[in-house]
Structure 1
């Protein structure tokens, strides 16, 4: 039986029961997105591959903890990849490089990274939604989620109190969620 037709949520349930073929299917669907995320956070090629491998290892170990009532499978998987990349950056004691304007377009469109049409459309929607945020909100999103800084480090980098940064982050994420729902 082919697993291609199964939803991500079903595949995660199967992974939670030890089905390696379900993990392989999730890998085919998400490896490109995980690589792109690690790339966007400034990691080199070898580190990007390490992040993908480590993230899927965490998916294998923690699939039973997935609760579809709390988040979509895609959000859960990408959160694991994001946290893994942040941990990797911290272990290397490296700071991710900020994106240059010409690199930004590449970060949303990674040729050969295994992206499907839906993934490409999601990246376009995200880019359009980010463009609707204020400069202050975009800056907070970039520093926290794309550059991988912890809240306290981000507050220092942006020169704002920690509470202010957290408020801006909540507001930015709420606005981003609203803009994406409208689309």
Structure 2
């Protein structure tokens, strides 16, 4: 699906309360971004699917409360997503590091075992490097790279200025690069 203009998005939101097909369009447009964000934050794929469903159920039931003058729709939606994930972890009584599972789709149905081993090793190094970041840095990275949110949308969600978001991202990515470079040349492709 191509990018929605703000006018198209507002039109869909307005119609979605009465027209299921308009909500379907919003769902289809935002589902991949929301799912990727939740998947980044939650390690269990079944929990990820459940939380993503809950997010869209909340969206559907609260759609008439959205006010375009207060925030962009995507910022509002990801606010619902963030709160849903926080509520999940509160219910689980977890207070420390969220899981940082990364998924990959192998093109081949039977990938080369050496590629699988290399990928798993790289994934473990990346997860370890990500775990060295603060929770705030991991949240911002998740919003930026897994959900595809803009710095402005992230700023709205986190109550941090847009320029500060850029600085936090820059410093966090630089620190990740340094950690990965210290692990050896084979991880240098990650810094591109």
TM-score for the superposition, normalised by structure 2: 0.51
CA–CA separation in structure 2 for the residues paired with 1:179 and 1:29? 28
Instruction: Describe the shift of the 1:84–1:18 C-alpha distance in structure 2 as closer, same or farther (beyond 3 A).
Output: farther
Segments ≥4 residues shifted beyond 4 Å: 143-147, 169-174, 177-180
Structure with bigger gyration radius: 2
Structure 1: gaps of 5 or more residues: 113-137, 148-168
Other-structure match for 1:67: 67
Q: Does the CA-based 8 Å contact 1:11-1:22 persist in structure 2?
A: yes
Instruction: Describe the shift of the 1:177–1:62 C-alpha distance in structure 2 as closer, same or farther (beyond 3 A).
Output: farther
Other-structure match for 2:85: 85
SS of residue paired to 1:70: coil
CA–CA separation in structure 1 for the residues paired with 2:161 and 2:99? 19
Superposed CA RMSD in Å reads: 3.5
Match status 1:142 vs 2:175: no
Q: Does the CA-based 8 Å contact 1:41-1:97 persist in structure 2?
A: yes
User: CA shift at 1:93, angstroms?
Assistant: 2.8
Structure 2 matches for 1:26-37, cutoff 5 A? Answer: 26-37=26-37
Q: Does the CA-based 8 Å contact 1:43-1:89 persist in structure 2?
A: no
Structure 2 matches for 1:1-183, cutoff 5 A? Answer: 7-15=8-16, 17-94=17-94, 95-97=96-98, 99=100, 139=134, 141-142=136-137, 175-176=164-165
Q: Does the CA-based 8 Å contact 2:140-2:165 persist in structure 1?
A: no
SS of residue paired to 1:7: helix
SS of residue paired to 2:49: helix
User: CA shift at 1:70, angstroms?
Assistant: 0.7
Instruction: Describe the shift of the 1:40–1:66 C-alpha distance in structure 2 as closer, same or farther (beyond 3 A).
Output: same
User: CA shift at 1:18, angstroms?
Assistant: 2.8
CA–CA separation in structure 2 for the residues paired with 1:48 and 1:7? 29
